Amino acid sequence: MLISIQNLNKTYIMGAEKVEALKDVSIDINKNEYVALMGPSGSGKSTLMNLIGCLDSPTRGAYWLNGKEVSTMEDSELAEVRNRDIGFVFQTFNLLPRLSALENVALPLVYAGVSKEERLAKARKTLEAVGLGDRVNHKPNELSGGQRQRVAIARALVNDPAIILADEPTGNLDTKTSYEIMALFQEIHKAGNTVILVTHEQDIAMHAHRIIRLRDGLVETDVKNDQIVQLTTQAAPAV
């Protein structure tokens, strides 16, 4: 079991009011699953994503990742888990504008203490895997939206994480580019990665093999997707 979440609660104090963002959520996710977390605004999906990504800690309940209970870890320990076990892909790309694509992808390896020569070689190989071998020296403002998201995906992959956690990864992309990015996620999943996709769009969620819907802080449904959308990508990355 890669992820085991047991009776997870998250309560936010907003002035005199208590907001229960998650209420006794229990979910298990196996290695190499492709899961979509869905729900309307206020459903708790972003809170759950933050907890899975070790960006926040629960108020109550337990979260086990790779056999380790991370729900009780201190901030420094959570930072280490984030860098080692989780690759993040965000809607807004979150690339550093002054760095090249190669340097952006290599950043997680800097924090992991990998030598410069090794991290640049691995970053180059990962960029080639997502179809950007000819863009390694380009800065973000010299790339299209789809290319920037590919750089962000390469950055998420470079540390060989246990989980790829993608938050609305097609939210800033046109339809054609969105399909290309979703085809890339399919290839990443086929290569053996665990992918957790956070989205409010039904057509994007349909690429996942399992769809978990949240509403009002509760798991509303958790079902296998029998109508998986299959796409192909010209890049055909071997990640």
24-62 pLDDT, tens digit each: 999 999 999 999 999 998 899 999 999 999 999 999 999
pLDDT in the model for residue 233: 56
Q: Tokens for 160?
A: 């060989």
- Check: CB of residue 36 under 8 Å from CB of residue 61: no
Q: What is the pLDDT of residue 3?
A: 97
**Is 20 domain-assigned?**
no
Q: What stretches of 159-217 adopt beta strand conformation (E)?
A: 163-167, 194-198, 210-215
Decide if 17 is inside a domain: no
- How high is the pLDDT of residue 141? 96
Work out how many domains the chain is built from and give that number. 1
| pLDDT of 145 strictly over 80 | yes
What's the confidence (pLDDT) of residue 230?
Answer: 85
Sheet holding 3-14, edge to edge: 17-29, 3-14, 60-65, 68-69
Q: Are strands 3-14 and 60-65 parallel, antiparallel or unpaired?
A: antiparallel
User: Sorting pLDDT into bands at 50, 70 and 90, what band is 239?
Assistant: very low
Q: Tell me: the pLDDT tens digits for 182-219?
A: 999 999 999 999 999 999 889 999 999 999 999 999 99
pLDDT reported for residue 151: 97
pLDDT class of 146 with cuts at 50, 70, 90 = very high
Contact 36, 221 (CB under 8 A): no
Task: Judge whether residue 237 has pLDDT over 90.
Answer: no
- The closest of 188, 200, 173 to 231, measured between CA atoms, is 188
Residue 21 forms part of a structural domain: no
CATH number of the CATH domain containing 119: 3.40.50.300
Query: pLDDT-derived band of residue 236, with 50, 70 and 90 as boundaries?
Result: very low
**Structural domain of residue 94, as residue ranges?**
30-57+74-224
**Residue 230 in domain:** no
Sheet holding 163-167, edge to edge: 86-90, 163-167, 194-198, 34-38, 210-215, 218-224
